[in-house]
Amino acid sequence: MQTITWLRRFKKNKHGVSTVITVVLSLVIVVVIVANIVLWSYTMNQYDLERKQESLSFTVTSHSEWFFVQSEYQINLGSRTAGSYLDTRTDDGSFETFREGNPRRLDINGTFIIDLTTFQFAHIQGVEIVLKFRASDLGEAWVLKAYNWTANSYSNNEFNVTSFTPTTTTGWDYYRVSIGDGWQDYVRSSDGKMFVQFHDTIADSAQTTVRIDFLGVRVKVTNFSFKNSGAVTSHVVSMWVINSTVHARYAVSFYINSGTNASFTSVTIRLPDGQYMLKAVTERGNIFVYS
């Protein structure tokens, strides 16, 4: 009889214990869920807050400054009749004058130094040469070349324009050259030295006078200057280059601390000629536009 009573009590107690366990477990689960919701909501608020606090602006440059002839041009054919090499350093209307000799030829060359300390060889994407000149007659084409350090001779093989026929005897002509692939042949990697040559093409009857207002070289580089006026460090993870024909995305990794400016050079990002828009996308998903 005693045994039966004990068994009943035990069953009753067992039922009670499992009820308690169920309640406790349920409570634990509820607490865990609520805690997670609170934590998630806090994290999301924090994320949104940081996202709203992000504020970037930026500009871009696609070229270095101009580099000019170091000293007086060497004259191989013809002569110098007025002005000096200093006149060819600024596009300002003051010029240096050269004249064809007998035979009617002109051939000069000058030494230019690219500043490779500021514009690292590995960051350069190409070279540009610009000549602003006036020829006294329009009877022949003129040629810009540069010394090819690999071939050990003057060449314009990789130039986009290999000769230029002047269009005016009273105004100025701009003879613009761009060297993309192969530019490395024309800039000495050890010191940035370039030799640029300018010459006529035929010994015709006219004794041509040539005025040079400007002759300069510069390198193509893509350099971004960021300004972080936000309250948080920004991490730019991609850049978009957009115009009517280009819509390119480049993966990058630029960190800009709050309240600071920072500049970054990209070898891979190619900026198109003319108008374009740039977008910087941050890790937080913000998009900042430059146009």
Binding site for Ca ion (CB under 5 A): 87, 90, 92, 94, 104, 200, 213
| Cα(273)–Cα(162) distance, integer angstroms | 20
- Partners of 59 in the β-ladder: 225
Taking the complex as a whole, the smallest distance from the CB of residue 240 to Ca ion amounts, in Å, to 39
User: Which residue lies nearer to Ca ion by CB, 214 or 264?
Assistant: 214
Smallest separation (angstroms) from Ca ion to the CB of 204: 5
First to last CA, the chain: 96
In the complex, minimum distance from the CB of residue 214 to Ca ion, in angstroms, rounded to a whole number:
5
- Of all residues in the shown chain, the one whose CB is closest to Ca ion is 200
Nearer to Ca ion, 72 or 283 (CB): 72
Two tokens at 143? 């040629």
Closest to Ca ion by CB, 136 vs 258, is 136
Q: How far is the CB of 52 from Ca ion (least distance, A)?
A: 52
Q: In the complex with Ca ion, which residue's Cβ is closer, 41 or 76?
A: 76
Q: Specify the residue, 162 or 233, whose C-beta has the smaller distance to Ca ion.
A: 162
